[in-house]
Amino acid sequence: MRIRNSLNNMLFGLLGQVISMIMGFIVRTVFIVTLGIEYLGVNGLFSDILMLLSLANLGFETAIIYSLYKPLAEKDTTKIQAYMRLYGKAYRIIGIVILAVGLAPVPFLEHLIHGEVNVPHLEIIYVLFLCNTAFSYFFVYKQAVFVADQKQHVISKVNSVYALLWNLLQIALLMLTYNYIVVLVAQIISGIVKNVYISRLANKRYAFLQQRKVKPLESGERTDFFSNLRSLMMYKVSGVVINGTNNIVISKIFGVIWVGLYSNYFLILTTLNTFLGYIFFSITASVGNMNVTESKERKHFIYRVLQMANFLVFGVCFVCLWNVLNPLVEVWLGKDFLLDKAILLTILINFYTSGMQNASTAFRDTTGMFRKARYSPVVAAIANIAFSVYFAYLLGMAGVFMGSIISRLLTYFWVDPYTLHKHVFEQRLLPYFVTYFRYGVLVASAAGICEVVFLFTDFSPSLDAVLRLMLGSVVSGILFYAAVRNSEEFKYLMNIGKSYALKLKPGPVNFNK
> Where do the structural domains in the chain lie, given as residue ranges?
2-293+339-425
The answer to whether 281 touches 307, Cβ cutoff 8 Å, is no
Average pLDDT, the chain: 83
What type of residue sits at position 146? F
Supply φ then ψ for residue 135, to 5 degrees: -65, -30
Please check the confidence at residue 78 and state whether its pLDDT lies above 80: yes
pLDDT band at 390 (very low <50, low <70, confident <90, very high): very high
How much is the pLDDT for 393?
Answer: 93
Instruction: Say if CB 317 and CB 350 are below 8 A apart.
Output: no
pLDDT above 60 (res 246):
yes
Question: Is residue 280 pLDDT above 90, yes or no?
Answer: no
Using CB atoms within 10 A of its CB, is residue 116 exposed (0-12), middle (13-18) or buried (19+)? exposed
Q: Is the pLDDT of residue 11 over 70?
A: no
Q: 54: how many CB neighbours lie within 10 A of its CB?
A: 18
**Rounded-to-5 percentages of helix, strand, coil across the chain:** 85, 0, 15
Task: Provide DSSP, 88-156.
Answer: HHHHHHHHHHHHHHHTTTGGGGGGGSSS----S-HHHHHHHHHHHHHHHTTT-TTHHHHHHTT-HHHHH
Measured between alpha carbons, how far is 390 from 301 in angstroms, rounded to an integer? 40
Please check the confidence at residue 510 and state whether its pLDDT lies above 50. no
